[in-house]
Structure 1
Amino acid sequence: MQVLLLVSAVLFAVSDGKINQTMVPCKTLCITANDKHLEGYDPTLSPVFLHKPRCAVIYNMESCYYRRHTHGDDTECQPLCLPSSYKIITRQLRTGPREFTIPEDCQFTYSVCKQCKRQSNIVKFFESSRYEKEVDVGRCIGSCNGVDHVGTDLSHCVSVENETISIPNPNGITAVSVIKQCSCEASCYRFSYLEAFLERNDSNHPAVQEKIIDVGRCVGSCNNVIPGKCLSRDKKTGACLYSFSARRAVCRPSIGEDVRFINVDGKIMTIPVVKKCGCISG
């Protein structure tokens, strides 16, 4: 009888379609499960074991609650059990130093129920030393289900702009890539990449200033295959007699433009800039 009353209460809470978030009984927990792995051998031939926690969903037999999100169309969106923070550790192996990314804590994230966006992702470097530092490197997470004006599938939530920061270490500095912006893109897409130049206002004035140009890069992959071009066809049936072999498409610039400016030597400099990327025959 108590189970029927609880189910009825939940159904009543969502029956009017106006509530986007409800508290409902759950049977899962997001935990850190500890696994021990043999990673290799150190320079003294001693085995190197590493405890590598992983995020796991387990069933909880007791009563618990978690938030179940729904989209505007009342489609249920299940949360993901993901690491909320990491640490980077280094171990000396016979093959040389090797870095490992170790989850420190796990939690359910509901960002998958929302539009693609940047989410905080804390990584700890050089733990238990005076160089220890936490950096929010970010991650891209969320739903993508749209298409652009020409019908290209934009189903990948990816980083479109990064920056590199430096943190000190015992050997100098370590470069860390940090996600700045996320977007829904195709499998092959344009990635922001900045280059710096010195330019003059005009050839008659010696004053120079810095000019930053986003030249862009094409990143991603292409799964489609470009069919081979038919070189000769049968005059009666139209069947292709022989052709170039089919080739796999490559992610490369599809639209570009030139940016011109006067450099420090007073000459006109031309820099090619990627405007759009696409899957093109290699």
Structure 2
Amino acid sequence: MSYTGARAILYMSLLVIIFPTHSYGAGVGGAGAGLALNGDKHHRNVEHRGRHHHNQQQQHGNQNLEDATQLTTTPSGELEDRREDFDNACCSRQEKYVAIGFGVSGEVVQLDVGQCQKSCRSLFTLMDPDITDSDISPFKPCAAEAACLPSKSRLQRVSTLHGMQQLAVVEECECRHKPERCYRQPHTLQLYPGTPYETHLDVGICSGRCQSEAGCRPVRNKTVSVPGPNGVHCHSVIEECTCTGGCYRMSSLEIVYDYTDLVLNDTETSPAIKEVDVGRCSGTCTGGQTRKCLFRDQADPNKCLAGLYGKQSSCTPSHFKVHRYTSKDRQAKEIIAITDCKCM
């Protein structure tokens, strides 16, 4: 028997001796019941004070438990404010499953691609015994004005009925100060993990502040060839970022060899190397009517002679520019460059 319990029983015995049952009047049965009720209530109060004293000792020994206890005793409004402050204080990787196809048995194949969020769920594990630290990924401090962004990813290959699918899986997240302007930040992509060809490539990421409805998006990429177990593969690397709308033009370079200035009987055979930014449209559109041009006027590529109309909008080239050059066999060639994109 604990010291607190023995002390409570001794105190009750003294009460029975000092205050006999007949002093309460109204008969022996009713008085005895009243005394037993009062004694039991006092016993619970004594135990409550003992537990409260024990909890105070634990709180002084464990600061994290003290914080959790304060959260449980805080009014609902203050609790939500404090929880929001904690949620904005940490940057961690959270699960995000996406369907990528079907397996051989017809089941949907899902992959945890991950996502970065400001969250401090580890601070609340003391409040929920069902949550353990092993179930929650490590978190890092993150200021309120900072952005929680992926710092490291890997390219995962998954086999489905539609063939091999490649997806970028977020592995690590970190807090980065959100700059006042939009620019490129480093982002490491792990290629061919678990193979002798395993390597890392900085593919970049766009981050920064933009006004109105514009977003910080990539506008110029380059292609890098990386050898792997199944041959050489090309990977896109972000070179430049800027603030732009949902539908925008991206730079795409095309190299052509122009023989226009060469004389037929000249010994000089080196053509002029021209770099043409043919561009491409990227982004998404919402609502509106769409038009897909099937046949354009050769004299004026901006003029559409035949097209299809639909309800689903898409980011489509709206203006063009024609670049002309001469091939090695003296044939006149032309290449069309996209100069602007619109939701059509």
The counterpart of 1:109, out of the listed 165, 170, 176, is: 176
CA–CA separation in structure 2 for the residues paired with 1:162 and 1:140: 12
CA–CA separation in structure 2 for the residues paired with 1:246 and 1:95: 28
Q: CA deviation at 1:222?
A: 3.1
CA–CA separation in structure 2 for the residues paired with 1:104 and 1:199: 46
CA–CA separation in structure 1 for the residues paired with 2:149 and 2:260: 51
CA–CA separation in structure 1 for the residues paired with 2:226 and 2:289: 45
TM-aligned CA distance change 1:226 to 1:167, over 3 Å: closer
The answer (yes or no) to whether the contact 2:152–2:170 under 8 Å persists in 1 is yes
Matched, 1:271 2:330: no
Q: Secondary structure at the match of 1:225?
A: coil
The answer (yes or no) to whether the contact 1:203–1:266 under 8 Å persists in 2 is no
What is aligned with 1:58?
120
Moved more, 123-132 or 245-254: 245-254
TM-aligned CA distance change 1:213 to 1:65, over 3 Å: closer
Identity %: 27
The structure richer in helix per residue is: 2
Q: Which runs of 5+ in 1 are unaligned?
A: 1-25, 69-77, 147-152, 228-244
The counterpart of 1:185, out of the listed 244, 268, 293, is: 244
What is aligned with 1:216?
279
Q: Per-residue displacement from partner, 1:145-193 (whole Å, max 9, x unpaired)?
A: 16xxxxxx6x021111111112111111222111111111122222111
The counterpart of 1:162, out of the listed 197, 202, 221, is: 221
For normalisation by structure 1, the TM-score amounts to 0.62
CA–CA separation in structure 1 for the residues paired with 2:336 and 2:146: 43
The answer (yes or no) to whether the contact 2:100–2:165 under 8 Å persists in 1 is no
The answer (yes or no) to whether the contact 1:203–1:267 under 8 Å persists in 2 is no
Matched, 1:87 2:146: no
Q: CA deviation at 1:39?
A: 8.9
The answer (yes or no) to whether the contact 2:141–2:175 under 8 Å persists in 1 is no
TM-aligned CA distance change 1:262 to 1:182, over 3 Å: same
Q: CA deviation at 1:129?
A: 2.3
What is aligned with 2:197?
131
TM-aligned CA distance change 1:246 to 1:135, over 3 Å: closer
CA–CA separation in structure 2 for the residues paired with 1:37 and 1:257: 40
CA–CA separation in structure 2 for the residues paired with 1:159 and 1:169: 26
CA–CA separation in structure 2 for the residues paired with 1:95 and 1:114: 43
What is aligned with 1:235?
none
What is aligned with 1:122?
188
CA–CA separation in structure 1 for the residues paired with 2:311 and 2:109: 45
The counterpart of 1:141, out of the listed 192, 207, 216, is: 207
CA–CA separation in structure 1 for the residues paired with 2:323 and 2:146: 45
Q: CA deviation at 1:276?
A: 2.1
TM-aligned CA distance change 1:197 to 1:100, over 3 Å: closer
CA root-mean-square deviation: 3.9
The answer (yes or no) to whether the contact 2:189–2:203 under 8 Å persists in 1 is yes
CA–CA separation in structure 2 for the residues paired with 1:48 and 1:255: 41
Q: CA deviation at 1:270?
A: 2.7
Q: Secondary structure at the match of 2:120?
A: strand
CA–CA separation in structure 1 for the residues paired with 2:243 and 2:165: 33
The answer (yes or no) to whether the contact 1:259–1:273 under 8 Å persists in 2 is yes
CA–CA separation in structure 2 for the residues paired with 1:249 and 1:42: 32
CA–CA separation in structure 2 for the residues paired with 1:248 and 1:181: 30
Q: CA deviation at 1:259?
A: 1.9
Larger relative contact order (Cα-Cα within 8 Å, sequence gap ≥ 6):
1
The answer (yes or no) to whether the contact 1:29–1:60 under 8 Å persists in 2 is no
Q: Which runs of 5+ in 2 are unaligned?
A: 1-84, 125-139, 291-308
